[in-house]
Amino acid sequence: MRRTPVVRLLLSILLVAVFDSFSNAQVLQSGLASTLDPALQARLLFITGHTRVLVRAASLSELSSVTSLIRVLGGTKVRTLGLITAVAADVPNLAIETLAAAPGVAHISLDRLIGGADERTDATIGSADVRRDYGYDGSGVTVATIDSGITAWHDDLADASGATERVDWFVDFINGRTIPYDDYGHGTHVAGIIAGNGADSSGQRSGIAPGAHIVALKVLDANGHGRTSDVIAAFDYIASHPELRVRVVNLSVAAPVYESYTIDPLTIAARRLVDAGVVVVAAAGNAGRGHNGHTAYGSITAPGNAPWVLTVGASSHMGTVDRSDDTMAAFSSRGPTAIDAAAKPDVVAPGVGIESLTDPASTLYASMSPYLLAGTLTRPYFPYLSLSGTSMATPVVSGTIALMLQANPSLTPNAVKAILEYTSQVYAPYDRLSQGAGFLNAKGAVDAARAFASPDGIASRSDDWSGQIIWGDRIYSSETIAASAQGFARAVTWGQTLWLEPGWTAGPNVVWGSTCGGADCGLAWTIALGGDSTVATSDDETVVWGTSDDDDTVVWGTSCSDPSCAPVVWQP
């Protein structure tokens, strides 16, 4: 029913009265601070304008009344997010306090902006050896890409016969279209890294798991922009459609961290999937340089800040297949996480100059034309594009997990992470808040996955494996790792105190041990996640999220003027 001007006036008077009855200090003292995330608290003083928010109900039975209250307060529901018992809505800033004080409301968060985060890679990490020696190609494993969509007709996404695409399903949370498309191009690039078969390059530019199938969930628009509610809706869709048989979720998009992972709706939604046995792989972010051009710590993005998410930083293969010359990518975000001060990332993988699929009708195809690449077949367009970022490193790991799950479908998300860390390769120049457990070793990970499926379920450490995992914030090491470890069970939070197993030795604390206790770490590590071109510059590597670069690609969104992109300060 349309409100009359009188009704609207009365509602405004009511809201002004409520607003005037609370000063900002009184709101904090009243306990509403625990209901509002920090980014929203700043909007309590606004008497005009609207804000996109995520409102979590105290229980499922309260969800309907919360939705009704939003409508009464002049707000508009965008969508219901059943996975986290929440509503995404557009509400008047003047109504935020009233909404936060309502008895059925558990928490309100800003619906934050998100953005999107080759043959040398194959050889560097050993996935080519896996396909050659074992015949694994990811067949039978479905990976969901939560990104900008997918170009399902691309030759490299056809099956072995070349007749049928391997894109099983497509859902568009941005425009509601039903036919697969990718107007930005980021999602197609990511999907190609995971499952491209190299058809347009005679197999040279194949992905890590060219037999895997893809479920594409579009959450970014043609400019690479989206919101956390779109990602949560994609999580919700996967959880409510088990018939899709998704085993891995690739999240090459990210959002700023303003809340502990224990209350952030995005990280909570990711937890629901992990507890159901789905591995959630997320980009660490690309804010590894500070304002002064030096390495910036404390720059991990969400949901990669959550312990149950497998968080991927970026390395560089330096344009060679020789693993010995690999380096950390300077742009790759470092730990510890904001708010919770937890050890991250988990592992790093090649993310510089990664060659993968493109869509000739996409934004990236037009804006990144110097980095387009031809294949070996004659086509009226360039089928490939070279990009850099943790957005590219993440699908390298997702593709590796597809190989692991083909070798051993019984692996739990915690077992997958443990194997990837245990078999990784440590590079001495880099601390654990930069490289995590180490550099990805796909061949070792598949070998350990196979060992977990053996009668004794035990993998013995090889000479080139780290033999270590970062459980919580501490390093643990052992000469063997077993599938039966209680820490690998479903619904166990990575880092819980139950990890200790016979034969494992506790090492240093990653966050406050020798790796980060000196002047280089500082007492406050400040980063900006967007909207500031001085955050990071680079002469020979990608920098991202609106930052500037001299001669390489710029991905993961363009600019970010929303308040959610304000600088984040991490305090120990």
pLDDT tens string, the chain, 572 residues long: the values are: 444 444 443 444 344 444 344 444 444 444 677 788 887 887 887 778 888 999 999 999 999 999 999 999 999 999 999 999 999 999 998 899 899 999 899 999 989 888 766 345 666 667 888 887 888 999 999 999 999 999 999 988 987 666 667 899 999 999 999 999 999 999 999 999 999 988 888 878 888 999 999 999 999 999 999 999 999 999 999 999 999 999 999 999 988 888 999 999 999 999 999 999 999 999 999 888 876 677 888 889 999 999 999 999 998 766 655 566 677 888 899 999 999 999 999 999 998 888 899 999 999 999 888 888 888 888 888 999 988 889 999 999 999 999 999 999 999 999 999 999 999 999 888 889 999 999 999 999 999 999 999 999 999 999 999 999 999 999 999 999 999 999 999 989 999 887 778 889 988 888 865 344 443 333 233 333 333 322 333 333 333 322 233 332 323 332 333 333 333 333 32
User: Residue 340 corresponds to which tokens in the numbers above?
Assistant: 């919770």
Catalytic residue among 118, 147, 155, 549: 147
- CATH class given for the domain over 115-499: alpha beta
Q: Which residue type is seen at 205?
A: R
Domain-wise residue ranges, the chain:
5-111, 115-499
Superfamily, domain 5-111 = Peptidase S8 propeptide/proteinase inhibitor I9 (3.30.70.80)
Neighbour tally for 88: CB within 10 Å: 22
Q: Which of 391, 466, 478, 538 is catalytic?
A: 391
**Has 147 been annotated as catalytic?**
yes
Candidates 285, 289, 271; CA nearest to 313 is 285
Give yes or no for a contact between 200 and 384, defined as CB atoms under 8 angstroms apart. Answer: yes
pTM (predicted TM-score): 0.83
Q: Are 232 and 273 in contact (CB under 8 A)?
A: no
Closest by Cα among 299, 300, 284 to 347: 284
The CA-atom distances, in angstroms, between 161 and each of 155, 157, 213 are 11, 11, 15
H or E element that contains 5: helix 5-20
Write the CB contacts of 467 (distance below 8 Å, at least 6 apart in sequence): 422, 461, 477, 478, 479
* CB-based contact 367:572 (threshold 8 Å): no
Distance separating the N- and C-terminal Cα atoms of the chain: 52
107, 154, 186, 317: which one is catalytic? 186
186 is an active site residue: yes
- Interior/surface letters 24-61, b for 16+ CB within 10 angstroms, e for the rest: eeebeeeebeebbbebbbebbeeeeebbbbbbbbbeee
Active site residue 391: yes
Residues 6+ apart with CB under 8 A from 294: none
